Amino acid sequence: MRCVITVVGKDAVGILAKVSALCAQKNVNIAEVTQSVLQNLFCMIMLCDIEKINGTFSEFVDEAEKIGKENHLKIHVMHEDIFNSMHRI
Amino acid sequence: MINTHDILETISMIQDENLDIRTVTMGISLIDCIDSDVDRACEKIYQKITTTAKDLVPVANEIEKTYGIPIINKRISVTPIALLAAACPGENPVKFALTLEKAAQKIGVNFIGGYSALVQKGFSHGDLELIRSIPEALAATEHLCASVNIGSTKAGLNMDAIALMGGVIRECAEKTADRSCIAAAKLVVFCNAPEDNPFMAGAFHGVGEADAVINVGVSGPGVVRAALAKLPKDASITEVADLIKRTAFKITRMGQLVAQEASRRLNIPFGIVDLSLAPTPAVGDSVAHILEEMGLEECGACGTTACLALLNDAVKKGGVMASSHVGGLSGAFIPVTEDAGMIAAAKSSALTIEKLEAMTAVCSVGLDMINIPGDTSQEVISAIIADEAAIGMVNSKTTAVRLIPAIGKKVGEELSFGGLLGGGPVMAVNTRSPEIFIHRGGRLPAPLQSLKN
Question: For the domain with range B219-450, which CATH number is right: 3.40.190.10, 1.10.760.10, 3.20.20.70, 3.20.70.20?
Answer: 3.20.70.20
> How much is the ipTM here?
0.87
Specify the long-range contacts of residues B88-93, CB closer than 8 Å, at least 24 apart.
B88/B35, B88/B36, B88/B37, B88/B38, B88/B41, B88/B126, B89/B125, B89/B126, B91/B38, B92/B129, B92/B133, B93/B126, B93/B129, B93/B130, B93/B133, B93/B137
**CATH tag, A2-87:** 3.30.70.260
Q: What is the CA radius of gyration of chain B?
A: 21
**Burial readout B406-442 (b: 16 or more C-beta within 10 A, e: otherwise):** bbebeeeeebebeebbbbbbbbbbeeeebeeebeeee
**Burial readout A64-85 (b: 16 or more C-beta within 10 A, e: otherwise):** bbebbeebebebbbbbbbbbeb
Domain-by-domain residue ranges, chain B? 29-191, 219-450
Distance from CA of A14 to the nearest CA of B (A): 22
- Alpha carbon B278 to its chain's center: 9
B348: Cα within 13 Å, side-chain hemisphere: 11
Widest Cα–Cα separation across chain B: 69
Strand pairing class (B144-152; B111-118)? parallel
Instruction: Count Cβ atoms below 10 Å from residue A63 Cβ, excluding itself.
Output: 16
Residue B91 and residue B85 in contact, taking contact as beta carbons nearer than 8 Å: yes
Q: How many Å apart are CA B323 and CA B315, to the nearest integer? A: 12
> What's residue B1's pLDDT?
62
**B56-85 residues touching A, CB cutoff 8 A:** 62, 65-69
> What's residue B283's pLDDT?
82
Please enumerate residues of A whose Cβ is less than 8 A from a Cβ of B.
Answer: 4, 6, 32, 34, 43, 45, 47, 57-58, 61, 74, 76-87
Total residue length of chain A: 89
Query: B292: which residues sit within 8 A by CB, 6+ positions away?
Result: B298, B299, B341
Distance from CA of A62 to the nearest CA of B (A): 9
Q: Which residues of B touch A58 (CB under 8 A)?
A: 62, 65-66
CB contact under 8 A, A82 and B254: yes
Q: Which residues of B touch A6 (CB under 8 A)?
A: 7-8, 11
**CATH tag, B29-191:** 3.20.70.20
Distance from CA of B277 to the nearest CA of A (A): 17
Q: Is B174 exposed, middle or buried (0-12, 13-18, 19+ CB in 10 A)?
A: middle
Phi, psi (deg, nearest 5) at residue B24: -105, 115
Query: What are the pLDDT tens digits along chain B (453 aa)?
Result: 678 888 988 998 988 888 899 999 999 999 999 999 999 999 999 999 999 999 999 999 999 999 999 999 999 999 999 999 999 999 999 999 999 999 999 999 999 999 999 999 999 999 999 999 999 999 999 999 999 999 999 999 999 999 999 999 999 999 999 999 999 999 999 999 999 999 999 999 999 999 999 999 998 899 999 999 999 999 999 999 999 999 999 999 999 999 999 999 999 999 999 988 889 888 889 999 999 999 999 999 999 999 999 999 999 999 999 999 999 999 889 999 999 999 999 999 999 999 999 999 999 889 999 999 999 999 999 999 999 999 999 999 999 999 999 999 999 999 999 888 999 999 999 999 999 999 999 999 999 999 988
* Cα-Cα end-to-end distance for chain B: 53
Q: Which residues of A touch B3 (CB under 8 A)?
A: 87
CB contact under 8 A, A85 and B1: no
Q: How many CB pairs under 8 A join A and B?
A: 65
Q: How many Å apart are CA B83 and CA B92, to the nearest integer? A: 14
Find the mean pLDDT for residues A16-22. 93
Residue B349 and residue B280 in contact, taking contact as beta carbons nearer than 8 Å: no
Region of B223 on the Ramachandran plot (φ > 0 left; ψ -120 to 50 alpha; else beta) = alpha
Question: Is B219-450 the same fold as B29-191?
Answer: yes
SS3 A68: helix
> What's residue B220's pLDDT?
87
Residue B265 and residue B62 in contact, taking contact as beta carbons nearer than 8 Å: yes
Instruction: Please tell me chain A's helix, strand, coil percentages from 3-state DSSP, rounded to the nearest 5.
Output: 35, 40, 25
Q: Is B10 on the interface with A (CB under 8 A)?
A: yes
Q: Which residues of A touch B2 (CB under 8 A)?
A: 4, 47, 80, 83-84, 87
Residue B393 and residue B152 in contact, taking contact as beta carbons nearer than 8 Å: yes
Phi, psi (deg, nearest 5) at residue B118: -110, 105
Q: Which residues of B touch A34 (CB under 8 A)?
A: 1, 4
Residue B383 and residue B434 in contact, taking contact as beta carbons nearer than 8 Å: yes
How confident is the model over A25-78, as pLDDT tens digits?
Answer: 999 999 999 988 877 888 899 999 999 999 999 999 999 999 999 999 999 999
Q: Is B211 on the interface with A (CB under 8 A)?
A: no
SS3 A16: helix
Q: Is B4 on the interface with A (CB under 8 A)?
A: yes
Q: How many Å apart are CA B284 and CA B188, to the nearest integer? A: 26
* Total-model pTM: 0.93
